[in-house]
Structure 1
Amino acid sequence: MMILSLQIIVNLILVTAIDPGITPRSTQQSSIEDTDSSNGSRRKKVTINGVQLKLKFCRIYRIFRPPRSCHCTICDNCVEKFDHHCPWIGQCIALVWSACFHIHFISKYLTETSLFNAEKLSVLFGILDNSINVLYLHICFLLLEDSPKSVGKWYRVVWNAEELP
């Protein structure tokens, strides 16, 4: 149980504290008319290693986004290999970190299930002291699980205040 709890905290810190692959904003005041795309279209064809790709123009970042990147409307960032924006951790989940994200939730599910089953068994056998202890462990686990989330959010507020909506 302790190993699962540590794994949950480590994966949560990894997902919340490390950059998901945010594309840097353009420093120039360029617009789509200034680029060399044909007739001011919002797409640009580029050949990379013999493969022709279509790049989309991001009006907010004023750049042609890399392939498979997407602009997150919640945190206002272009993220490479964007999967989704997770409201519980307040971070974009990209393909790079989706493994850590999924391991975090599988570990959390296993820990919650084992704590819930231990609580049910102790109540079933009428052992009041163990039931209170398991309930106490359950509450401590939830508090420990939420504290790295808060630390990660405050870290982003202090160091990346200009990126918050």
Structure 2
Amino acid sequence: DLLFLFFTSGRDPGILPRNSKPPESDEALDVTTPSMEWVNGRTPHLKLPRAKDVIVNGHTVKVKYCDTCLLYRPPRASHCSICNNCVQRF
């Protein structure tokens, strides 16, 4: 049992690195769409979709957006409330 403790302590926990800026949207920025909202009456701020479909190895996979980490999480990843990071294979 102690051997398994050493194996797990030396492995990568699967924390996904955060983005410093939100990802680019697929929509054109010069057109105001329903996904754009006005912040403080000045510049339209782009609201990213909560989920989007991505093709991975020929299969369509739905990925969800994390507002805290500013990234689309890969499949089987989730945001951990304890460490405040997105973790793979949670």
Query: Normalising by the residue count of structure 1, what TM-score does the alignment of the two structures yield?
Result: 0.39
Could you tell me which residue of structure 2 aligns to residue 19 of structure 1? 12
Structure number having the greater helix percentage:
1
> How large is the RMSD of aligned CA atoms in angstroms?
2.1
Out of 46, 71, 95, the residue aligned to residue 54 of structure 2 is 46
How far apart are the structure 2 equivalents of 1:35 and 1:14? Answer: 41
Structure number having the greater strand percentage:
2
Query: Normalising by the residue count of structure 2, what TM-score does the alignment of the two structures yield?
Result: 0.67
| Superposition deviation, residue 74 in structure 1 | 0.9
The total of aligned residue pairs comes to 72
How far apart are the structure 2 equivalents of 1:43 and 1:51? Answer: 16
Is 2:3 aligned against 1:10?
yes
% same residue: 39
User: What are structure 2's unaligned runs of at least 5 residues?
Assistant: 28-34, 36-47
Is 2:21 aligned against 1:29?
yes
Is 2:68 aligned against 1:76?
no
The one-character-per-residue Cα deviations of 1:77-109 (angstroms, maximum 9, x if unpaired) are 211111xxxxxxxxxxxxxxxxxxxxxxxxxxx
Out of 60, 64, 67, the residue aligned to residue 56 of structure 1 is 64
Looking at CA atoms only, which structure, 1 or 2, has the larger radius of gyration?
1
Which 4+ residue blocks in structure 1 deviate beyond 4 angstroms?
none
